Amino acid sequence: MKFYTAVALYQKRKLSLGKSAEFLGMDRLDFIKALQQENIPVFDYSHNEMNEIVDDTESLSKLLK
């Protein structure tokens, strides 16, 4: 039950990945593995968030040239 509470808080972005793992008494890698075992996405970005990431990456790439 505590695991699913941590997952819900993580998915709602109330807890970070690290804080969710800490809440469960495990390290980040173990939390990631537990998410994978339950087929829960580790990173779940919306379409808009993905577009922002791509735009930021393209802008940074242009600055570095």
Smallest Cα–Cα separation from 59: which of 51, 12, 38? 51
pLDDT grade for 29, boundaries at 50, 70 and 90 = very high
CA atoms within 13 A on the CB side of 60: 6
Q: Which tokens is 16 given?
A: 């970070």
Residue 6's pLDDT band, with cuts at 50, 70 and 90, is very high
Domain ranges of the chain: 2-64
37 pLDDT band, cuts 50/70/90, is: very high
Query: Cβ-count burial of 65 within 10 angstroms (0-12 exposed, 13-18 middle, 19+ buried)?
Result: exposed
> Is it the case that residue 10 has pLDDT exceeding 90?
yes
* pTM (two decimals): 0.70
